[in-house]
A and B are shown apart, each in its own frame.
Chain A
Amino acid sequence: MRNDAIPNRRPFTLAAITVRQTASNAVALFGLTSLLAALAYLRTAAPGVFTLDSPELTVGAHSLGIVHAPGYPVFMLVGHLFLKLPLGDVGLRMNLLSALAAAAAAGIITLMVWWLTERRLAGVVAGLAFALCYYVWSMAVIAEVYTFQALLLVGTLALLWQWRHRASFASLALAALLAGLAAANNPSTVLWWPGYLVLAVATDARRTLRLRHFAALCGVLLLGLSALLYLPLRSLAEPAFVYVGSYDAAGQFNAMDLSRLENLVWYLSGRQFSWLVAPYTAAELAREAGRTVGWLWAGFLGVGLPLGLWGLWTLYRRERFLALGLALAALPHTLFFIAYGAPDKETMFLPLFAVWAIFLGAGLAQLQSMLPQQGRPALLALPLALLLVNLSYVDVSDFRAPQENSVSRLVRADPGAVVLAHWGDAGAMHYQQLVNGLRVDVSVINVFFISPEDLNTLIDDSLAEGRAVYATYSSGLPLDRVRLASIGSDFQLTPRPPATNLSVRNPILQQRSKQ
Chain B
Amino acid sequence: MTGSLGRLARAILVVLVLTVSLALLPYLGLPYQPLEVTAMRLASVLYHDGCPDYDHNGIIEAYDIGQVALRWTLTAANPDPDNDPNTPNYGPEYDLEFDGVIDMLDIMDAAENFGEFCDD
Contacts and interface: CB of A to CB of B under 8 A. Distances in A.
Contact of A491 (B14, B40, B63, B85): B85
Most buried by A among B36, B45, B70, B86: B86
Given A343-B42, A343-B98, A508 B31 contact: no
A21 interface: no
A424 interface: yes
B24 interface: yes
B46 interface: yes
Most buried by B among A291, A298, A479: A298
Interface string B29-57: 01111111011101111110111001010
A297 B21 contact: yes
Contact of B91 (A279, A475, A485, A502): A475
Given A3-B7, A424-B43, A473-B44, A452 B35 contact: no
B94 interface: yes
Given A141-B35, A393-B33, A476-B93, A422 B85 contact: no
Contacts of A1: 3
A52 B47 contact: no
Contacts of A422: 43-46
B94 A475 contact: yes
Given A134-B32, A452-B56, A508 B70 contact: yes
A425 to B, nearest CB: 6
A448 B54 CA distance: 15
A399 interface: yes
A138 B93 contact: no
Contacts of B35: 138, 141-142, 393-396, 399
Contact of B39 (A295, A424, A448, A476): A424
A448 B93 contact: no
A393 B10 CA distance: 36
B17 interface: yes
B66 interface: yes
Contacts of B31: 291, 294-295, 298, 346
A392 interface: yes
A112 B35 CA distance: 30
A511 to B, nearest CB: 8
A341 B47 CA distance: 10
Contacts of B30: 134, 298, 389, 393
Nearest to B88: A506
A345 to B, nearest CB: 10
Contact of B46 (A142, A392, A423): A423
Contacts of A425: 43-44
A306 interface: yes
A496 to B, nearest CB: 9
Contacts of B21: 297, 302-303, 305-306
A500 to B, nearest CB: 9
A50 interface: yes
Interface string A367-400: 1001000000000000000000100111110010
A465 interface: no
Contact of B93 (A302, A370, A475): A475
Contacts of A266: none
A424 B32 contact: no
Contacts of A491: 85
Contacts of B63: 508, 512
Contact of A343 (B46, B67, B87): B46
B22 interface: yes
A470 to B, nearest CB: 12
Interface string A399-425: 101000000000000000000001111
A453 B120 CA distance: 13
A483 B25 CA distance: 48
A412 B44 CA distance: 21
Contact of B70 (A297, A370, A395, A506): A506
A50 B39 contact: yes
B42 A298 contact: no
Contacts of A399: 35-36, 39
B32 A306 contact: no
Given A302-B22, A474-B85, 19 more contacts: A52-B43, A138-B32, A273-B47, A275-B49, A302-B24, A303-B21, A344-B38, A396-B39, A399-B39, A422-B45, A422-B46, A423-B46, A424-B39, A473-B44, A474-B89, A485-B85, A486-B85, A508-B63, A508-B67
Interface of B: 3, 7, 10-11, 14, 17-18, 21-25, 28, 30-36, 38-40, 42-47, 49-51, 54, 56, 62-63, 66-67, 70, 80, 83, 85-89, 91-94, 98, 119
Q: Across chains A and B, which 7 residue pairs bring their CB atoms closest together, nearest first?
A: A475-B91, A424-B43, A422-B44, A508-B66, A484-B85, A452-B56, A302-B21
12 contacts: A50-B39, A135-B32, A275-B51, A297-B21, A302-B24, A342-B46, A343-B45, A424-B39, A475-B93, A485-B85, A486-B85, A505-B87
